[in-house]
């Protein structure tokens, strides 16, 4: 099963969703990309994922252009920006979903508050993508 997770910068939310899906089932072909890829991972996302036992430090931040024209079982957007500017895929996309999350990199305040926002969003992503995995992806080849 081939899954592409899209966000704007491909540095935070899409990377966390990518990491969690692979942790649920290493046999899934999971990729993530951005409509305006930053080219780097958000350090806060890497840190809170490591705290959750998932290492995403080896991921790359890639442009969606790399994946246009390919065949996908699921294309999932995780932020409003990507949902609004999601490109038309010229390949076959069986299912297109939008599961939106707040951007923790927009959080302002004390370092403790900002860290807590990364944790909150990480845990929301884990819960929503685990539900998706159990209801639609697991054993649904």
Is pLDDT at 125 greater than 60 in this prediction?
A: yes
The verdict on whether 7 is a catalytic residue reads: yes
132 has pLDDT over 70: yes
Q: Given this model, what pLDDT does residue 75 score?
A: 92
Asked if residues 4 and 72 have their Cβ atoms less than 8 Å apart, the reply is: yes
Class of domain 2-137: alpha beta
Q: Residue 29 — very low, low, confident or very high, per pLDDT cuts 50/70/90?
A: very high
Are 78 and 14 in contact by the 8 Å Cβ rule? The answer is yes
Answer yes or no: 79 catalytic: yes
Active-site option among 28, 68, 86, 119: 86
What confidence tier does 36 reach under pLDDT thresholds 50, 70, 90? confident
86 is catalytic: yes
Sign of CA dihedral 30, 93, 121, 44: positive
pLDDT score for 92? 81
Of 76, 79, 125, 132, the catalytic one is 79
Predicted TM-score of the model (pTM): 0.92
Mean pLDDT over the full length of the chain: 91
Residue with the larger pLDDT of the pair 115 and 69: 115
Q: Residue 47: its pLDDT value, please?
A: 98
Residue-range domain boundaries for the chain = 2-137
The tens digit of pLDDT for each residue in 83-111 reads: 555 555 556 889 989 898 999 999 999 99
Name the active-site residue from 7, 75, 82, 132.
7
């Amino acid at each position: 099963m081939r899954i592409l997770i899209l966000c704007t910068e491909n540095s935070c939310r899409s990377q966390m969703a990518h990491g969690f899906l692979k942790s649920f089932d290493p046999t899934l072909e999971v990729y993530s990309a951005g409509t305006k890829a930053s080219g780097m991972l958000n350090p806060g996302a890497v840190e809170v994922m490591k705290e959750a036992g998932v290492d995403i430090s080896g991921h790359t931040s890639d442009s969606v252009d790399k994946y246009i024209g390919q065949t996908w079982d699921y294309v999932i957007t995780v932020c409003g920006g990507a949902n609004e500017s999601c490109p038309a895929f010229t390949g076959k996309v069986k299912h297109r979903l939008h599961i939106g999350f707040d951007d923790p990199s927009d959080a302002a305040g004390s370092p403790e508050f900002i860290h807590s926002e990364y944790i909150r969003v990480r845990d929301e992503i884990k819960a929503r993508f685990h539900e998706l995995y159990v209801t639609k992806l697991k054993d649904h080849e």
